[in-house]
């Protein structure tokens, strides 16, 4: 059954992924295998007894790494968290992924009936460890963690969450380690110092080359007693700050003592990234569900870009009526996101948005939001987008459009920077797979002046502008698509 999800998230950056584009498992509350007598359900019932007995001011939520505070970490737990002001409730279940935690704190009600002050959350290593990247790209895990934070905030509005970096696992170059690094790089952005505080002390588990010591993690996944001592001693000062903090007091994040960038593999220029705010994930999930609902179809054309592309179909968009007419003839997918820059498009192209369908034609327009800050970097970003599309859809043709004219006069600094980008990227067209389609002059008056006749705000085309756009790409549609 196809499901739809509404999630508010904020995230940035990523790695190359080949995720299957489907409904997101990681955000779907799941009660393990569904059997009422499974061992996880038995554990849940036992945990609910502890919840019913009064909960705690401090709560740990997670998977086996949290669960094993009862085993390898038992003496350390007793030392730091069994009694006193830090008396804690341990809600870890072995094997849990984000979707299982979501079930436990929604339908399972593990956060109900008491008022916590401090919640420590670490989850996600089983999402990356249980499924290949083709089944769960990093963005799914990120969204799952963000949804857990949303539910925690709803269930425990008076608590602050210490969001703990997923612990390193395996060898430094293992796929699961790299995927966890990607997720950590993303979820660190969720910290606001008030409801969520980021805590990363993973460097204490690693040597200078990033190797995980078996003297701390015997199986390269779960800490032993020494590992739990490192964990406890690292978070206790932060827990105490949270317990003593005033409601509006800002608490800074905790970062490794030797700051390092998370190892996210190939990081092109500009760096791949996702945008923050609530708009982006809603748009992402809207498009993902659209692709899932359409099934394994072949689109005639996929539009890729920023708000200029989005406004072909956005409610109130100036191209909406024309786009609706075009959809009577063509199967169209619009992957335009307001505010996106080259790095944002590259991230989503490499993290699943090219999956689950075929396409005869892609049309790419991107770069105006980069605002000429780095002409070679913008051009490189566009090149990487083209390479990614070609790698995923070698059967498709790509219409590469220049950045549209921006602002009134041709000697405007940003207009000139965009033109510099255009001069570079036109060379990416090979006349076969990538076709350069430049009709910028059709938007301009004599002397290169851009007027509100075609762009009301001198940036986004109006109805007239979208008609000009269509008139100039229609011959390519007819030749490539055949109609």
Condensed to tens digits (0 to 9), the pLDDT of residues 149-193 reads 999 999 999 999 999 999 999 998 888 898 898 899 889 989 999
Distance from C-alpha of 166 to C-alpha of 479, rounded to nearest angstrom: 50
Provide the pairing of β-strand 196-199 with 160-164. Answer: parallel
Instruction: Tell me the average pLDDT across 43-52.
Output: 93
Domain 25-244 class in CATH = alpha beta
Bigger pLDDT: 463 or 8? Answer: 463
CATH number for region 279-481: 3.40.50.1110
- CA dist 355 and 20 (Å) reads 6
- At 10 the pLDDT is 28
Asked if pLDDT for residue 2 goes beyond 80, the answer is no
Judged by average pLDDT, the poorest of 14-28, 119-133, 332-346, 397-411 is 14-28
Statement: residue 103 has pLDDT above 80: yes
**For all residues of the chain together, what is the average pLDDT?**
89
Cβ atoms of 418 and 367 within 8 Å: the answer is yes
> What mean pLDDT is predicted for residues 57-82?
97
Least confident of 11-15, 52-56, 123-127, 433-437: 11-15
The secondary structure of the chain, three-state, reads CCCCCCCCCCCCCCCCCCCCCCCCHHHCCCCCCCCCCCHHHHHHHHHHHHHHCCCCCEEEEECHHHHHHHCCCHHHHHHHCCCHHHCEEEEECCCCCHHHHHHHHCCCCCCCCCCCCEEEEECCHHHHHHCCCCCCCHHHHHHHHHHHHHHHHHHCCCCEEEEECCCCCCCCCCHHHHHHHHHHHHHHHHCCCCCEEEECCHHHHECCCCCECCCCCCCCCCCCHHHHHHHHHHHHHHHHHHHHCCCCCCCCCECCCCCCCCCCCCCCCCCCCCCCCCHHHHHHHHHHHHHHHHCCCEEEEEEEECHHHHCCCCCCCCCHHHHHHHCCCCCEEEEECCCCCHHHHHHHHHCCCCCCCEEEEEEEECCHHHCCCCHHHHHHHHHHHHHHHHHHCCCCEEEECCCCCCCCCCCCHHHHHHHHHHHHHHHHCCCCCEEECCCHHHHEEHHHEECCCCECCCCCECHHHHHHHHHHHHHHHHHHHCC
| Burial of residue 479, with CB atoms counted within 10 A of its CB: 0-12 exposed, 13-18 middle, 19 or more buried | exposed
pLDDT at residue 144 greater than cutoff 60: yes
The residue with tokens 């990093």 is: 138
Contacts of 273 (CB under 8 A, 6+ apart): 12, 13, 14, 343, 344, 347
The percentage of the chain sitting over the pLDDT mark of 90, rounded to a whole number, equals 72
Cβ burial, residue 221 (10 Å; 0-12/13-18/19+): middle
pLDDT of residue 284: 78
CA 386 to the chain's CA centroid? 21
Segment among 6-10, 188-192, 330-334, 407-411 with least mean pLDDT: 6-10
User: What integer pLDDT is reported at residue 19 of this predicted model?
Assistant: 36
Confidence at residue 16, expressed as pLDDT on a 0 to 100 scale = 30
Nearest one of 291, 234, 246, 293 to 117, comparing CA atoms = 246
Instruction: Tell me the pLDDT band of 293, cut-offs 50, 70 and 90.
Output: confident
Residue span(s) of the chain under CATH 3.40.50.1110 come to: 25-244, 279-481
pLDDT at 448 over 80: yes
Cα separation, 425 vs 402, in Å, equals 8
pLDDT at 6 over 80: no
Asked whether the predicted pLDDT for residue 5 surpasses 50, the reply is no
Q: How far apart are CA 128 and CA 147, in angstroms?
A: 17
β-pair partners for 399: 363, 435
pLDDT of residue 14: 31
| pLDDT bracket for residue 467 (50, 70, 90) | very high
Peptide bond into 427 cis (omega under 30): no
Query: Look-up: residue for tokens 């979707």?
Result: 99
432 vs 278 pLDDT, higher one: 432
């Amino acid at each position: 059954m196809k499901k739809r999800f509404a999630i508010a998230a904020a995230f940035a950056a990523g790695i190359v992924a080949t995720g299957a584009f489907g409904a997101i498992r990681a955000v779907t509350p799941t009660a393990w295998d569904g059997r009422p007598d499974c061992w996880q359900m038995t554990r849940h019932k036992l945990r609910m007894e502890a919840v019913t007995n009064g909960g705690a001011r401090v709560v740990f939520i997670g998977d086996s790494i949290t669960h094993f505070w009862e085993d390898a970490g038992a003496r350390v737990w007793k030392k730091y968290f069994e009694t006193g002001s830090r008396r804690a409730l341990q809600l870890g279940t072995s094997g849990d992924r984000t979707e299982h935690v979501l079930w436990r704190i929604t339908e399972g009600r593990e956060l109900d009936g008491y008022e916590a002050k401090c919640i420590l959350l670490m989850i996600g290593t089983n999402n990356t460890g249980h499924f290949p990247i083709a089944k769960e790209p990093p963005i799914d895990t990120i969204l799952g963690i963000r949804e857990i934070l949303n539910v925690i905030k709803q269930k425990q509005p008076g608590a602050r969450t210490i969001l703990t970096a997923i612990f390193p696992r395996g060898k430094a170059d293992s796929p699961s380690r790299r995927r966890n690094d990607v997720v950590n790089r993303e979820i660190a952005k969720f910290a606001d110092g008030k409801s969520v505080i980021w805590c990363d002390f993973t460097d204490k588990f690693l040597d200078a080359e990033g190797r995980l010591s078996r003297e701390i993690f015997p199986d390269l996944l779960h800490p032993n007693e020494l590992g739990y001592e490192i964990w406890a001693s690292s978070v206790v000062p932060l827990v105490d700050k949270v317990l003593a903090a005033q409601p509006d007091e800002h608490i800074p994040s905790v970062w490794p003592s030797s700051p390092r960038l998370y190892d996210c593999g190939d990081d092109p220029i500009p760096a791949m990234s996702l945008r923050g705010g609530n708009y982006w994930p809603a748009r992402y999930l809207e498009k993902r569900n659209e692709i899932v609902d359409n099934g394994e179809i072949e689109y005639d054309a996929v539009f890729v870009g920023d708000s200029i592309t989005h406004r072909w179909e956005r409610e109130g968009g100036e191209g909406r009526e024309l786009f609706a007419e075009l959809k009577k003839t063509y199967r169209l997918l619009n992957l335009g996101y307001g505010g996106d820059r080259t790095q944002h498009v590259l991230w989503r192209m490499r993290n699943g948005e090219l999956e689950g369908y075929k396409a005869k034609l892609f049309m790419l327009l991107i770069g105006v939001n980069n605002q000429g800050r780095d002409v070679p970097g913008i051009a490189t970003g566009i090149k990487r987008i083209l390479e990614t599309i070609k790698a995923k859809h070698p059967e498709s043709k790509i219409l590469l459009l220049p950045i549209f004219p921006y602002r009134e006069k041709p000697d405007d600094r940003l207009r000139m920077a965009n033109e510099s980008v255009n001069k570079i990227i036109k060379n990416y067209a090979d006349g076969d797979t990538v076709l350069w389609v430049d009709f910028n002059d059709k938007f301009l008056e004599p002397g290169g002046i851009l007027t509100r006749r075609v762009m009301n705000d001198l940036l986004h085309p109006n109805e007239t502008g979208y008609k000009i756009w269509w008139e100039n790409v229609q011959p390519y549609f007819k030749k490539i698509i055949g109609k």
